[in-house]
Amino acid sequence: MAHEVVPNACERTPDAIRAALERRPDWLQAFEQDWLSAAADFDQGALDGVLDKWLPFACACATPGYLDQVEQAVKRMTEGDAQELVFWGEEGRPFRCRRQPPGYGQVGVSAYTIRYVDRATW
């Protein structure tokens, strides 16, 4: 994917995280539940833990275009179209997903393969 999450796209405050999570109501609801649960215990450590847990989600929502691109990729894959999607490994190496011809491989094995892609061959 071309976009990456901007780590400081959202401030580490409850209000900023709430505002960013409005893009995903299910995430916002889960954040609210976690926040209220920690607040009920009057535990500052637990409140800080909730902020730490949800900040990456909020930054993903606040990074322009990031969730749109992720949602588009997920839609393509769930519809069976992973052709030419590029995935990045932990070491930063790109991998491209390619469709194999029908009957390729063994029974029960995906018709897609993931292969390392040399950046020079894009």
Q: Are residues 36 and 89 in the same domain?
A: no
* Residue 96 φ/ψ, nearest 5 degrees: -110, 140
Q: Across-strand partners of 112? A: 99
Q: Is the pLDDT of residue 46 over 80?
A: yes
Query: Taking the CB of residue 28, how many other CB atoms lie within 10 A of it?
Result: 20
Indicate if 2 and 19 belong to the same structural domain. Answer: yes
Strand order in the sheet with 112-116: 86-88, 94-99, 112-116
Give the gyration radius of the chain's Cα atoms: 19
Are residues 72 and 104 located together in one domain of the fold?
Answer: no
Q: Give me the domain span that covers residue 73.
A: 1-79
8 A C-beta contact, residue 100 and residue 113: yes
Please answer whether residues 58 and 52 qualify as being in contact, where contact means their C-beta atoms are separated by less than 8 angstroms: no
Alpha helices in 9-65 (DSSP H): 14-21, 25-40, 44-62
Mean pLDDT score, 44-70: 93
Report helix, strand and coil shares of the chain as percent, to nearest 5.
Answer: 50, 10, 40
| DSSP-assigned beta bridge partners for residue 116 | 95
Please check whether residues 11 and 56 belong to one and the same domain. Answer: yes
One domain for residues 49 and 101: no
Residue 15 has pLDDT above 90, yes or no: yes
Asked if the model's pLDDT at residue 31 lies above 50, the reply is yes
Q: Per residue in 60-115, pLDDT tens?
A: 999 988 888 888 888 887 777 766 667 677 777 776 665 554 444 444 444 444 44
